[in-house]
Structure 1
Amino acid sequence: MSTAPASLSPAVLHRLVQEGKAPRLLDVRTPGEFRTAHIRGSYNVPLNTLREHRAELLSHLDEEVVLVCRSGQRAREAEQALAQAGLPNLRVLDGGMVAWETAGAPVERGPERWDMERQVRLVAGSVVLVTGLVGIAVPGAHLVGTAIGAGLTYAALSNSCAMGVLLSKLPYNRGPRTDIRTVLAELRSTR
């Protein structure tokens, strides 16, 4: 039985950052999401990269680590991966970047991009709309929209999203590829 990871509120993290006592911040979103907006001083280690290189990251994360994503879901997955690898002192930013920005905390901004949730809504809604309209002339076409609806229902129940995973692989979302050697060198040089 797993327990919920410890969380840290945006207000507490913001105070720690202002006091110069910020823990290591690992942002596990895609490089594209990270470039759009991130907390100053955070390191972008996308969830898949983190899972693949968690053993290498362990030796560079000996102090408290706060994991950040859009809403907290991917950060909780990253917490599980790092905890299984033996890293203590993990926390998740409660509510992720959404809560951080809502609290009025500062962010570093780059080129604006649509977040993954918005992209999923666009693709799913478009497929349902088009297959519903095509279904007027082509019997059975509406079943594609029904399959999308079933997939979204499963995504909500399982707290996963296959469409989001597929969309994250598009060039628009990838941005520059995260080089783990660069991240490790930055982690080494800052503490």
Structure 2
Amino acid sequence: MWQSVLRSSWLVLVVMGAPLLGASSIGAPVQAQSWADIGNYSSLLRRAGTQTLVAKDCPSGLFGAFHTGRNVLLLCSNNLQDDPAQVWTVLAHESAHVMQHCQQGPLLPDHLIGSALAQIEKQSLSSFQELRLYHQSQRRDEIEARLVQGLPMAEVKALFRGFCGDRLRRLAPKNSAVEGLGDG
């Protein structure tokens, strides 16, 4: 499904907003095995120009957010458990919003949204139901982010390189290739 998306370039405005994940959405299978995995992926985001921050004073229930205008991804440590799997789920979800920002629009073509919804419902009925909490203008972005958060780390990294690869090449040091930066 994603391979066709990686070769496309739709220019649709990204809806700005900070997503609020429900607690039941965090129960995804382990995607990151260690804090080093999370650190490596965070480094990849930073190399593409996205600032990553950790806050200890987020409102209750907010696990993370992405601010499009400032290109800042925020993780809320006061609402997250000290668990790489939970942190990875939130990081992957928010990085999908970074990818939407890089893409300047949606990640999936319109005809695949129904399949994405079916996949989310199959993975987590509660996550599927929580999509109703979002305004219609944010729903598509959230569908894509919830789909990404359920993917294995290697696939999320590949998607990020596909959607934000031009930023990695543009911001890479002149004396090293992007692939040689040791980001796992």
TM normalised by structure 2 equals 0.26
Over alpha carbons, which structure has the higher Rg? 1
TM normalised by structure 1 equals 0.25
